[in-house]
Chain A
Amino acid sequence: MAMHEHHGLASFYEEGGNSLRSWLLTLDHKRIGILYLVSILAMFFLAGILALLIRTELLTPGKTIMDAEAYNRIFTLHGALMIFTVIIPAIPATLGNFLLPIMLGAKDVAFPRLNLASWYFYMAGTVLMMLTLLGGAVDTGWTFYAPYSILTRNAVVVVLLGAFLLGMSSIFTGLNFIVTVHRLRAPGLTWGRLPLFIWALYATSIIQVLATPVVGITLLLVGLERILGIGIFNPAMGGDPVLFQHFFWFYSHPAVYIMILPAMGVMSEVITVHARRPIFGYWAIAASSLAIAAISFLVWGHHMFVSGMSELAGAIFSFLTFFVAIPTAIKVFSWTMTLYRGQIRLRTPMLYALNFILLFTIGGLTGLFLGALSTDVHLHDTYFVVAHFHYTMMGGVLTGFLAGLFHWWPKMTGRLYSERWGQIGAVLYFLGFNLTYIPQFIMGSQGMPRRYWDYLPEFQGLHVLSTIGSYVLAVGLFVSLGVILHSLWKGRKSPANPWGGLTLEWQTSSPPPLHNFHGPVKVEHGPYAYDRVQAKEEVEEVTA
């Protein structure tokens, strides 16, 4: 693994040039990962600005900066863009695309053309969603509940079609990853030596391939109902609106695990590398990813305890829901124990990983209140739910994404960023995040419903705190964005293995050559054998 620089292969950026054509028609998984990264960061920026508009509107009861209809459109677009164009693809399509083949010791994914097609489907779906902005936008909420989504007068069909295309893109990526993991592992890379990030992406891909078609069909049915007037979900035409909720959550609940599992995978990599320590409970973590994937299909009804669904069904769904808590708890405990006797380096990725453990634990524990039937009756559709899913989806998925982005940024770009400013961003992010969402837990417990443009005056104090928190959070994110952009112009060149990691991606140059490695790859030890194999930290700097 040493001496790779001397092979002298050009990086994948240099090979093939930097013409527009070399990017738009590329079949290289790394370039496709970068295309996704740029697109997804742009969407994250846009949907984040929408979030700030929402929080600003909520500074006062009644109108602050926009009227109710504009507010409804903005929270719908914020939710739809964040879920479909940012959180679902964030980790698999960017970090996964770039790293999965390298971590397997492969030259590329199994189906490079399908991989490029998935990006074009992603762009088409995203553009369709954005187009609705011109035509008056959509005000259904990202959940598109019938019959409101059938009766409301706006561009619902366009958004549905956008979500459908994004679903296709997600299926392509999942299919590609499953085949790649099965077929393209390097000699010596047994299932027991797979990095846990790969296990997590593998479990995610299974859910993507199995669950996404159901939501695709459901969204198309809503579209058909709107265009052709077929009564499927609208009771005025003999349809059943609760059936829509079953179909929708049959996908969308597994979808939250499509979102969180890759972030959990990132966590296992970042923590082991920056604690220079074998993962605690490799098989428990790998198996818990698969367990979560399996159980996730059986719990969708917990979104529907007060929908008119039967009490018996509610009780069964509640019971099954609690089973998801176990594999999730196992992961959190295992990461924590991995730090024991470690050689901990508090670099930026590690700070985000610690943020993840704290925020995601709060997100998971508050899920207990919502999984239990009687407390859910009170908390359902309140700000408690809003805070809960932001702790899991943003505190979990996006924090994990940021941990992974800072962890692999030197590998992807060949540049080192400012450690001190990266750390400042991570700390601001943590403070702003909690200031934004802890008041929302309190408001929700007190009975503040979600999706409210106007609210009772007694909630104003907490809303103001939450809005201030969102500004701090935004500053933290802007600092982080500044840090990575700055590194592109002014960053020092990164060595091959800045943090001393043992997985395959650290054994090739930063950035890697077109076919990823400078010579044949052979795997001789597990991914976290830090107690037996020593890899030098080529960058020693730890500011904090």
Chain B
Amino acid sequence: MLPEAASSYAPAVDRVFWVIFGLSAFFFLLIVAFLVYFVLRYRNNREVLPAFESVHLEIAWTVIPFVLVIGIFYLGWKAFVIQRAVPEQAFELQVNARQWLWEFRTPDGQVSVNRVVIPADTPVKVILSSSDVIHSFYVPAFRMKMDAVPGRYTYAWFEAKPGTYTVLCAEYCGAAHSRMLATLEVVPKEEYEKRKQPSAVPAAATSRDPVAWGRELYETKGCNACHSLDGTPGVGPSLKGLFGHEVRLQDGRVVKADENYIRRSILDPTADVVEGFNPVMPPFAGLLSEEEINALIAFIKSLQ
């Protein structure tokens, strides 16, 4: 019933879950057993049987559940303390949530959207903030969830096994809430050290096929949450067949979707809102490099 337990404290949380499950199942079956027995035994009974009262029984079913729920509280609290107490010297991962993507910043200065690489078997403190409304950073495999609240910082932590894990937004945040996913790639420490070497990403990137790179950006920067490639409108218009065609805007203007239009729509989306859509896209100014914008334009051009 529970997903893979991939964080250091997940097994402790799962133990609490199964203890409660066991107790609940026992009491449920007990009640069902009595109900079924009484209904079968006294169904259509025509005889007035003597009254039955028992103070002992009432005391028992008050005191026993009382002790049990206090026990459950204690177990839940004990595991919660582990979930909330961040070990010293943790790796600090800054996460900023916005409609509808996750921005990550690692201590070595790497910035990324919707995908981040993290060292395994290392305590990671997630410091959460939000640019607009409340979101919630939820990694089911870690049994970890924390709201990202605008105007303040919140935190959570984990120490994970190597693997690839999905981050979901758990607090309803608007149109593309269900598409606000990110990927945590947890790699062994040595591999993480190797990867974080300034492996000349920009240089390598400029030598890449811009269309393929643009497609990758489309998926990793969160564009795919709202813009389809097959012509179906989502929260935003589809990108299929967009380039070079005329676009009718909310205010009645008709513009041609050229390089400048696409660039402006990425960096300052509310400047030209397409007819029939709401001005809900966040601005990407500062989140994409020039090369990345060029690659995205090349990709959009290819979608004829």
Contact = CB atoms under 8 A, between A and B. Distances in A.
A179 interface: no
A14 interface: no
Given A374-B13, A531-B51, A368 B35 contact: no
Given A326-B66, A449-B169, A153 B278 contact: yes
Interface in A368-397: 368-369, 371-378, 380-382
A339 B147 contact: no
Contacts of A276: 48
A373 B13 CA distance: 9
Interface string A64-97: 0001110010000000000000000000000000
B173 interface: yes
Given A139-B174, A368-B20, A376 B149 contact: no
Contacts of B69: 322-323, 325-326, 368
B65 A72 contact: no
A339 B132 contact: no
Interface string B147-184: 10111101000000000001011111111111100000
Contacts of A380: 145, 170
A447 interface: yes
A72 B174 contact: yes
Nearest to B47: A343
B223 interface: no
Contacts of B23: 368
Given A235-B150, A344-B44, A361-B28, A68 B176 contact: yes
Contacts of B24: 365-366, 368-369
A442 interface: yes
A491 interface: no
Contacts of A153: 278
B117 interface: no
Contacts of A339: 34-35, 38-39, 42
Nearest to B138: A449
Interface in A265-304: 275-276, 278, 280-281, 284
A381 B145 contact: yes
Contact of A236 (B76, B151, B172, B278): B151
Nearest to B85: A311
Nearest to B146: A306
B84 A446 contact: no
Nearest to A307: B147
A353 B179 CA distance: 41
Given A280-B53, A361-B31, A377 B2 contact: no
A241 B151 CA distance: 9
A452 B79 contact: no
A471 to B, nearest CB: 23
Contact of A68 (B31, B35, B61, B178): B178
B83 interface: yes
Interface string B71-100: 011011111111110000000000000000
Contacts of A333: 31, 61
Query: Which residue, of B45, B49, B73, has the highest number of chain A Cβ atoms within 10 A?
Result: B73
Contact of B35 (A145, A354, A451, A455): A354
B61 A454 contact: no
Contacts, number: 254
B35 A358 contact: yes
B192 interface: no
Given A147-B134, A339-B38, A369 B84 contact: no
A284 B58 contact: yes
Contact of A63 (B28, B141, B175, B232): B232
Contacts of B73: 318-319, 322, 371-372
Given A343-B45, A344-B38, A374-B13, A446 B234 contact: no
Contacts of B170: 380-382, 449-450
A442 B50 CA distance: 45
Given A67-B233, A325-B65, A381-B145, A373 B35 contact: no
Q: Interface size bucket, B side?
A: 35 or more
Contacts of B175: 68-69, 72, 139
A72 B99 CA distance: 15
A145 B171 contact: yes
Interface in B250-287: 278
A68 B172 CA distance: 12
A362 interface: yes
Nearest to A151: B133
A255 interface: no
A409 interface: no
B64 to A, nearest CB: 9
Contacts of A531: 48, 50-51
A102 B61 CA distance: 34
Contact of A275 (B42, B149, B174): B42
B53 to A, nearest CB: 7
B170 to A, nearest CB: 4
B143 interface: yes
Given A341-B50, A447-B3, A456-B166, A358 B20 contact: no
B140 A358 contact: no
A336 interface: yes
A453 interface: yes
B89 to A, nearest CB: 21
A69 B49 CA distance: 60
Contacts of A72: 172, 174-175, 177
Contact of B76 (A280, A336, A374, A381): A374
Nearest to A368: B20
Interface string A232-255: 000110001110000000000000
A280 B53 CA distance: 7
Contacts of B141: 447
Given A72-B175, A339-B39, A377-B13, A447 B168 contact: yes
Interface of A: 63, 67-69, 72, 139, 141, 145, 147-148, 151-153, 235-236, 240-242, 275-276, 278, 280-281, 284, 306-308, 311, 314-315, 318-319, 322-323, 325-326, 329-330, 332-334, 336-337, 339-346, 354, 357-358, 361-362, 365-366, 368-369, 371-378, 380-382, 442, 445-447, 449-456, 530-531, 534, 542
Given A322-B69, A343-B46, A542-B44, 4 more contacts: A72-B174, A235-B149, A306-B145, A446-B140
Which 8 A-B residue pairings sit nearest by Cβ, starting from the closest?
A447-B140, A235-B151, A372-B76, A374-B79, A373-B80, A452-B178, A341-B49, A365-B24
11 contacts: A329-B61, A343-B42, A344-B42, A344-B44, A346-B39, A368-B20, A369-B21, A369-B24, A375-B20, A376-B76, A449-B170
